[in-house]
Structure 1
Amino acid sequence: MAQNPLPYPFPYSRAADLDSRIKIPRPIIDSALVPIIDSWLLPEEVDLRLMRGLSNSENSETNNYHSDAIIAKAPHLKHTEHIAPGPNGTSVILSVFAPKEPTSAALPALYHIHGGGMIAGDRFSGVTELLDILKGIECIVISVEYRLAPETRAPGPAEDCYTGLVWASENAAAIGIDAAKIVIWGVSGGGALAAALCLMARDRKSPAIPIKGQMLLSPMLDDRCDSVSDQQFEYGSPWCGVSNRMAWDYVLGEDRGTDKVSQYQSPSRAEDLANLPSTYIDAAECEVFRDPAVLYATNMWRCGSTCELHIWPGAFHLFDGMDNPRVPLIHAAVAAKQTWIRRIMMR
């Protein structure tokens, strides 16, 4: 039996000094984040068994445990499941977390697309952390279960997310949401799917009621993996360049990096970013996804779309998954997300 790959051998905060493979200058980790980033060292090579064991439910019993655990930490919510007819005879499961005592029959909705590099995770991944960020914001969270690569290559996962979104919009009254106030939330690999989903919705003119906004958080946008930030963090970083290319290979196979890849598979391939919903993009300064995120925002502005962009200095991939008021940088990043969500949902 193959052994799991070994964790990275050096503290991430000192990688540039200790790893002889790192040849080019790069920003340093914020001192307040050093104890956090150095407390968990990951393998450079992607191990599907490891990733799915850590983040993905294996059976319905575990699924129930996850939903129950989420509700246990958010007892003001109730959880329901819905099934939307998916592409090619498949079904797309949606988990809906809604207030037990809503103040309105039609609340804003946040459509959650989980992370995991498009190769791991499930619809419950990250929901507890998301609900923590949404404290004080009354809305309904809809989390979609999409098929994973490599079993389902892109754009299959994005098509699943699109199917779920259209179903939610068309059944807004039944699930208690305002179809005019749906915000798409995608983290890491989920950010790629969120961006692709918004391109699909624009191009297909469906849902009939336009999406209100999209949040792309440390998004995995570019299969070519050739930006400056990709090169700077090829080694010595959580979700480094080695990990990123391996995940994209799972997602796209031999087409990765070629002209065969479409914007629905890798959103950075889109040339026209006009007429997209209001967008929030953020990334960490010390991660491979930094420069593709900046370029995506720049191209949105070039095409006349609107985007709020944050690059968090000295931060690493997913450093702000849950608020920590004792670390000012984390608290600022979470507060920026909360402020944007409130502004977009309430207008």
Structure 2
Amino acid sequence: MTEQPRSYPFPYSQAAQLDSRIKIPRPVIDPTLAPIIDSFLLPEEVDLQLMRGFTAIGDGEECIHPADTIIKTAVHMKHTKYHALGPNGNNVTLSVFAPTNPTWNVLPALYHIHGGGMIAGDRFSGIAELLDIIKGIECVIITVEYRLAPETRAPGGAEDCYAGLIWVSENATVLGIDPAKIVIWGVSGGAALAAAICLMARDRKLPATPIKGQMLLSPMLDDRCDSLSDQQFEYGSPWCGITNRMAWDYVIGEDRGSDKVSQYQSPSRAKDLSNLPCTYIDAAECEVFRDPAVSFATNMWRCGSTCELHIWPGAFHLFDGIDNPNVPLIHAAVSAKTTWMKRIWFC
């Protein structure tokens, strides 16, 4: 039996004081978030079996379908499964969560790309939390199943997501959505794929109806892993520098960090970020993805695209996955997302 990597030995909020490997100054965790971040200590080394096990859903010995589990807590929604033709003749599965009794015949759509470092998760990952975050916003959620690394190297996963996006746009009438109001939502590794398919859509001039917006949340954008934030959070962070490099090694392989990597594999490699959809980017101050997110937003502005950027002080990776009105920083981050979506869709 293979020994599993050990969890990080110190409270993350105290890592800078307790971990002798941390040599450079870094921002501190907000005290209101310390109990949350210190409650789940993860291994520094990637364990695919462990990561992929997080998505398993069961009730004793009986397996419950994830869609059924989601619908039980979102009784106003219905679930339908569709299939699109993938880039290699493969099957791309799409799950659609739509209001049971919609107010309008045509609704805006959120195209969801799950997180998991592009190496774990499935199309149901994060959907329950997403429904909680956007409650009160009437829309259709489409979530895509893409092939994971290392079994499928980049840009295979992005091509799957792009094929799904084309299908969604072309079948908008069937889905009851407005193809001019599709916003792509990507979290962590899913944000890399979201950014990649927006570049594909621009370059390939499909879908014919332009994408309305993209949301890149704590985005995993840069395979080079050499920014200041990468160095600051090499250790003592839920998704630390060690974890990040290992994940990118799975995603890209031996070319990681070289000049052979394309923008569709690692979006930070894009030199031209012009003519992209309206964009929302946010990241935590205390995570490796902070500075690549800032650089991506800066390069969008340099190229004439528009972007709303938030860096949440004292926060950690995916700190705002579930809204908590009793923690002002979390509530502010969630509110910023919903406010942006309402403005993009309804103003």
User: Normalising by the residue count of structure 1, what TM-score does the alignment of the two structures yield?
Assistant: 0.98
Shift of 1:55: 2.1
Matches of 1:297 and 1:62 in 2, distance apart?
Answer: 46
For residue 254 of structure 1, give the secondary structure of its aligned residue in structure 2.
Answer: coil
Matches of 1:261 and 1:118 in 2, distance apart?
Answer: 16
Partner of 2:48: 48
2:109 aligned with 1:109: yes
Shift of 1:89: 1.2
Percent identity between matched residues is 77
Matches of 2:95 and 2:345 in 1, distance apart?
Answer: 20
For residue 182 of structure 2, give the secondary structure of its aligned residue in structure 1.
Answer: strand
Matches of 1:63 and 1:183 in 2, distance apart?
Answer: 32
Instruction: Report how many residues are paired.
Output: 345
Structure 2 residue identity aligned to 1:123: R
Matches of 1:157 and 1:23 in 2, distance apart?
Answer: 36
Task: Determine if contact 1:273/1:299 at 8 Å carries over to the other structure.
Answer: yes
Matches of 2:111 and 2:10 in 1, distance apart?
Answer: 38
Matches of 1:74 and 1:86 in 2, distance apart?
Answer: 30
Matches of 1:238 and 1:104 in 2, distance apart?
Answer: 42
Partner of 1:263: 263
Per-residue Cα deviation, 1:109-134 (whole angstroms, up to 9, x for no partner): 00000000000000000000000011
Partner of 1:331: 331
Long gaps (5+) in structure 1: none
Task: Determine if contact 2:98/2:141 at 8 Å carries over to the other structure.
Answer: yes
| TM-aligned CA distance change 1:311 to 1:21, over 3 Å | same
Partner of 1:289: 289
Shift of 1:103: 1.3
> Equivalent residues in 2 for 1:186-205 (5 A)?
186-205=186-205
Partner of 1:19: 19
Task: Determine if contact 1:185/1:191 at 8 Å carries over to the other structure.
Answer: yes
Shift of 1:174: 0.3
For residue 299 of structure 2, give the secondary structure of its aligned residue in structure 1.
Answer: helix
Matches of 1:174 and 1:55 in 2, distance apart?
Answer: 29
Computed over aligned residues only, the root mean square deviation of the Cα atoms, in angstroms, reads 1.2
Matches of 1:306 and 1:113 in 2, distance apart?
Answer: 21
Matches of 1:162 and 1:106 in 2, distance apart?
Answer: 22
For residue 94 of structure 2, give the secondary structure of its aligned residue in structure 1.
Answer: strand
Partner of 1:236: 236
Per-residue Cα deviation, 1:162-205 (whole angstroms, up to 9, x for no partner): 00000000000001100000000000000000000100000000
Partner of 1:273: 273
Shift of 1:64: 5.6
Matches of 1:239 and 1:57 in 2, distance apart?
Answer: 23
Matches of 1:149 and 1:274 in 2, distance apart?
Answer: 29
User: Normalising by the residue count of structure 2, what TM-score does the alignment of the two structures yield?
Assistant: 0.98
Task: Determine if contact 1:235/1:241 at 8 Å carries over to the other structure.
Answer: yes
Shift of 1:43: 0.2
Partner of 1:39: 39
Shift of 1:63: 8.2
Matches of 2:166 and 2:277 in 1, distance apart?
Answer: 16
